[in-house]
Structure 1
Amino acid sequence: MTEEKELSYKEAIEKAGSAITRFPVIKIQDVPLMSHIAYNWDSIWAFRPDPSDLLIATYPKAGLDLLKKMDPPRLIKTHLPFKLVPPAFWENKCKAIYVARNAKDNLVSYYYFDLMNKTQPEPGPFAGYIHKFMTGELSWGSWYDHVKGYWMEREKKNILYLFYEDMKENPRREVERIMRYLDLSLSDEVISQIVELTSFKNMKDNPMANYSCIPSPVFDQSISPFMRKGEVGDWKNHFSPEQTKIFDEDYEKQMKDVNIPFRSLI
C-alpha cells in the first residue's frame, strides 16, 4: 500500500482539514465508498464483534479502526449497506437496530450534508443530485438497496427496523420498543429522560451530537448545520412538481418488490 492508503480516518480528516480535500469514491462490491474506507476494507470486513455489541445502521461514516481498542459491549454505528456489514456480526448473533427515513427527506438532508462536509464528493446542483440519488451514485450507494437490504433480512437476523417518522411522531413509544428489543427494564423517569435528551432540539445544542468540534474546513456549518431541521416533509420545499413526478415514478419501479411502510412521500 502507498502512504496515502495507510492513513487512518483521523489522519485523513486532519489532512483534509488543512488541504480541504474531498475524498474520491471507490466501489466495493459495486457500492461507492470514500477512499479511506475502501483502502482499509480488508480489516473492516474481517472485524470480529463481541456478541454483546449493538450495531446501529442507517443510510448515510464507518470507523471500525478504533473499536479494536474498546471493551465490549460497544455501540457501533455504520452506514454500510447490509451486504457490506462484516459477517461476524451475524455469526455472533449481535443485535442490530436499523433506522430508515423516507426517500425524499433523506435525499434533501444528505444533499445539505454533502454541501457542508468538505470530505464528501462534490454534490453539484440539487437537480443533478436527485439523479445521483435515484441511480445510487452517492457515497454509501443506493438508498433503495440500503433500506431493502436490511428490511428483507430483519427477521432472519433479528434486526429491529425503525422509521425516522415514527420516532418523530411518538419518541417515547419507539424508545420503549428499543428497550424491549434489548431486554432492558427502565423506569418511566429514565425513559422520559432519554426522550428529552434525544430530542432534536437538545441534540442540535449538544456538542457531542452536533459535530461543532469538527473544524470548519472539514464541516462548514456556515453552509448548513450538521443538525439542520429534522423535519418530516421538508422535501416539499425543495422538489419542483416535475422533479416530484419523475422521482415518484422511479420510486415505484425501484420499490415494487417490497412493501416497506414509508410515510410522507406525497
Structure 2
Amino acid sequence: MEGFDYSSMKISSRPELTEFEGISMVHYFTDNWKNVQNFKARPDDILIATYPKAGTTWVSYILDLLYFGNTAPERQTSLPIYMRVPFLESAFPVIPAGVELADNLPTTPRLIKTHLPVQLVPKSFWEQNCRVVYVARNAKDNAVSYFHFDQMNMVEPEPGDWSTFLHNYMDGKNVFGPWYDHVCGFWEKKKMYSNIHYMFFEDMVEDTGREIERLCSFLGLSTSAEEKERITQSTHFDTMKQNNMTNYSGLPVMDFKISPFMRKGKVGDWKNHFTVAQNEKFDEHYKQRMKNTTLQFRTEV
C-alpha cells in the first residue's frame, strides 16, 4: 500500500444519488455495507463523526497530532491523512476500503472517521463505549462548502447550479441525507451516551487553542502548553491547505482545477452565495426543521 501511486486510477463517471436505509447515498459508501455494519470497534477507538464539510479533516489532524505527533513523527510526512484516519464507510476503487484500512491501523488509539448519521453508525462503537468526537458547522456555510466540494469531487453526484443545489440541500437530497437530522441526531444521542464530545466549527475558527484544550480534557490527555500551541499552528487552515499530507491533493477522485479540497475554511462565506430571497426562504425552512431541538448555531463569529 505504501509507495503505491494511486494518481493513475481515475473515476470515469459520477454516481447517481440513491435512497439507502432511509437516506440519500451513492454506492461508494454502501458497496461495503455488510463489513461496515459488522466492523469491530475496540474500546480505545476514537470515532470522528461529522456531516460532510464540517471540519472533519481539521479535527482529524488535530487528534492525529495530539496522539502521534511526537511518538510517530514520520507518519506526518509519509502518510496522507486519509490513510492515518480511515473513512470507515468508503469503498473507492482508488484506495483500500475504509474498513480494511481501519482494521490494519497500527496505532493505539485508532482514529476513524465517518459521515454516517447516528442511526447508521456501526453498533460496536456504542457497545464498546468508544469516544466520539462530533463536529457540527452552521447549515449555511456547510451548504456553500458542500456545493463547491461536489463540483470538484467525482465520487459525488453532479451538483447542478447553486440554486438547484441549495434546493436539494434543504430537501436532504444530498449524500448522507439531511444536515438537520445529522446534527440533531448526534445532539440527542449525547443525552444518553456521555462519551460524545460535541464541537462547533465556528468555535474552532474563533479560538482553536481553546477547543484543543477542551478536546484534551475530554480525552484525558495531559498535553503541554507548548505542544498545544505547536498543534494550533500546524493545524491552521492555510498551513493545512499547503500540506500535501492533509490537503487531499494525492487522491485522484478530486479535480483541483475546479476547486481545492480545502477552499476557505471561513465562517460567514455564505453571504457571498445566498441571495436575499434564498436567505429568507432558507431561514423559514430552517426554523421549521430545527423547532424541536435545543441545538443552536452561529452563522458569523
TM over 0.5: yes
Q: Which has the higher contact order (CA 8 A, sep 6+)?
A: 2
Structure 1 residue 21 corresponds to structure 2 residue 13: yes
> What SS does the aligned partner of 2:283 have?
helix
CA distance in 2, matches of 1:82, 1:159: 11
**1:77-96 residue pairs with structure 2 within 5 A?**
77-96=113-132
Give the letter aligned to residue 109 of structure 1.
S
Identify the residue that residue 6 of structure 1 maps to in structure 2.
none
Q: 1:36: how far off? A: 2.5
Instruction: Return the match for 2:147 from 111, 117, 120.
Output: 111
Cα distance change of structure 1 residues 19 and 43 upon mapping to structure 2, 3 Å threshold:
closer
SS at match of 1:208: coil
Most deviating of 155-164 and 231-240: 155-164
**Deviation of the 1:14 alpha carbon:** 7.5
Q: Which runs of 4+ in 1 moved over 3 A?
A: none
Number of residue equivalences: 251
CA distance in 2, matches of 1:209, 1:24: 28
State the partner residue of 2:241.
Answer: 204
Indicate conservation of the 8 Å contact 1:175/1:191, yes or no.
yes
Residue aligning to 1:245: 280
Distance across 2 between alignment mates of 1:172 and 1:40: 37
CA–CA separation in structure 1 for the residues paired with 2:10 and 2:265: 30
**Quick one: distance in 2 between partners of 1:239 and 1:166?**
23
Q: Distance in 2 between matches of 1:19 and 1:173?
A: 40
Q: Which residue of 1 aligns with 2:45?
A: 53
In structure 2, what is the equivalent of residue 4 of structure 1?
A: none
Q: Secondary structure at the match of 1:243?
A: helix
Q: Secondary structure at the match of 1:18?
A: coil
- Are 1:139 and 2:175 matched, yes or no? yes
> Which amino acid letter does the alignment assign opposite residue 225 of structure 1?
P
> Residue type matched to 1:214 in 2?
L
Give the whole-Å Cα distance in 1 for the aligned partners of 2:289 and 2:11.
39
Percent identical among aligned pairs is 46
Q: Following superposition of structure 1 onto structure 2, how do residues 71-82 of structure 1 map, counting pairs within 5 Å?
A: 71=106, 72-82=108-118
1:122-201 aligned at under 5 Å gives the runs 122-157=158-193, 158-201=195-238
**Is there any run of 5+ residues in structure 2 with no aligned partner, and where?**
1-5, 53-86, 90-97
2:18 aligned counterpart, secondary structure:
strand
